[in-house]
Amino acid sequence: MDRSERRRGGGAGIIAVLIIAVLLLVLVFVFRIREFNVSVAGESRHTTEEIRNDLSYDFLTKNTLYFAWKYRNATEEPRAPYLQSVRAKIISPSAVQVVIQEKSLVGRVLYNGNNVYFDRSGNVLEITGDVYEEIPLITGVTMEQPELYKKLPVNSTTLRNTMLSIAELMLDSKLNPDEISFDEQSNIFINIGTVVVALGQDEYLEEKVSNLETIYDKVAAQTGTLNMTAFTGKNETITFTKDEEETEAETEAPEGSTGETGLEPDDGSGTGNTSDQPETQETQSQSSSLNSGTTFQAFDSYGTLHNDAQVVGGNIVDSYGNPLAGCYINESGQVVDAYWNIVFTLDGYTAPQSTSDSSSQENADTSSGQQTSETQASSGLNSNGTFQAFDSNGTLHNDAQVINGVIVDSYGNVLAGCYINESNQVVDAYWNIVYQF
C-alpha cells in the first residue's frame, strides 16, 4: 500500500468518527427531553415535576428515544414506588407523553399526629397531616415508627393481614366507611355514617361485605348497630339494634309535627293496621292472590333481619309461616318492614275496601264522655281497654295502657319512648299515634 492510499484510508476513518460524533450530538441535544406531559389515570396526588424527576433520573432516561423504549409497556418503576404503572410515547424529538396510574390508598392509621396512608400490599405511600375524606381511618392497631415505601410496621402480622383484607374489600365495594376499628379480641367494626357494623372475627369476610352492600341501604337512615358476627353466607339471623340516643330524640316530636311516621303497629297478623277492618268477599278473594312467590329481606320490629320474608295471603311471614311483626302492605301494594324500608312491591295490588259505614255507627254521648264500642275501636282501644304501642327497643306491646299519665304494659312496666303529647294523644317510640283521649 503506498502513501496516497494510506492517506485516503485515514481520511475515511476520520469522516466515520465525525459522523458518529454528529449522530451522538443529535441524540444528546435533539432528542433530549424538554417537554414532559403527564396524563393521569385517576386523581393524582403527585406533581408533574415530582413524577418527572423520579422517571427521568439519569443520562439515558433524559433521552426521548430511550425513555419511550424503557416505558413502552405499562410497567412499574422502583424509583417511583407510588405508581402502579408507567407508559410513555414520543410526541416529538424533544417531548414525551407519559400515562401513569397511581397506586390506590386503602386506609390510613394515625402515628404521632400524622396520617400514614398505605396501599393494598401494606406499603406506606404517604405520611402527611392531610386527611383524604374518602380513605377510612383504621383504629385499634399498634405499630412502630413507619417509613415511606416500607411495609406498615404493625406489631401483629395476623392483624395486619386482616386489616389489609377488610380495607381492600371496602375499597372494592360500593360502601364508603368512615372508620374500621378492632377491639382487643381483633373483632372488626365498621362505621358507615350513623351505622356501626359488627363483623366479628376474620371469617367469611367476603360473604359479610357482599351481603352488607345489599343490607346497608335498609338501615342507612337509622342510628344503631348491625350485627353480622355470626354470618357465614347462609341464612343466619342478622339483627339491627337502634341506639337509645336516637330513640330519645325521636320521642320529642318537633314543633308542628303530627307525630305520624307511616310505620303501622302490628297486631300479630303481620299486616299492620290493615287487619282492623273487616274484609268483604271481594277482599277475601283478592287476599288469596296476594302471594308473592318471592322471598326478600325485611326487618321485623325486634330488629331481626329475615332473608326469607314473603307475602302469603296478604300477610308478611317467614319461610315457616310466622308473621313478621311491624311489617305491612301499604295502599300502593308495597311491603314496608318495621324500619319503614320498602322491601317489595306487589303487582296489580288494590287496597282492600271496608264495607262498614263508620259514620252511621257513631253514637257517642259527648255530655257523659262515654264512647260506644265503635268509637273506642277508632281510638285504638282493644276490647279489654288496652292498645298497641312500640317501645324504643322495637318491641310491639299489645297490652299497653295509661296509668297515672304513664304508658305501661299489663305488668306495670314503663314502655320506653312512649309519651302523651299536648293534644292528649299517646305517641309510641316510632311516633305512631296509638290512642286518643
**Confidence (pLDDT) at 357:** 42
Domain boundary among the residues 73, 102, 131 is at 102
Strand, coil or helix: 190: strand
**Confidence (pLDDT) at 80:** 92
Mean pLDDT, consecutive 10-residue stretches, the chain (437 aa), reads 55 66 57 75 78 88 87 87 90 87 93 95 95 93 94 93 95 93 95 95 92 89 92 78 54 32 33 39 42 81 84 84 85 84 82 46 38 38 71 80 84 82 82 82
- CA 309 – CA 300 distance, rounded (Å): 10
DSSP category for residue 143: B
Domain boundary among the residues 102, 117, 142 is at 102
- CA 380 – CA 138 distance, rounded (Å): 50
- Are both 290 and 393 inside the same structural domain? no
Domain boundary among the residues 241, 263, 287 is at 241
Domain total in the chain? 4
Residue 332 lies in a domain: yes
- Are both 126 and 158 inside the same structural domain? yes
* Structural domain for 324, as ranges: 272-345
- Residue 91's contacts (CB-CB under 8 Å, 6 or more residues apart) are 35, 37, 97
How do 342-345 and 334-336 pair as beta strands? Answer: antiparallel
Task: Give me the half-sphere count of Cα atoms (radius 13 Å) on the Cβ side of residue 175.
Answer: 30
DSSP category for residue 62: G
- CA 262 – CA 45 distance, rounded (Å): 47
Between the alpha carbon of residue 275 and those of residues 249, 330, 359, the distances in Å are: 30, 12, 19
- In 3D, which of 200, 204, 174, 171 has the Cα closest to residue 187? 200
Residue carrying the nine cell digits 320529642? 252
- Are both 73 and 96 inside the same structural domain? yes
Residue 194 lies in a domain: yes
**Confidence (pLDDT) at 412:** 79
Which value, to the nearest 10 degrees, does the dihedral of the CA atoms of residues 166, 169, 170, 173 take? Answer: -160
Strand, coil or helix: 52: helix
pTM over 0.85: no
AA identity, residue 163: M
**Confidence (pLDDT) at 37:** 81
Which value, to the nearest 10 degrees, does the dihedral of the CA atoms of residues 206, 209, 212, 214 take? Answer: -70
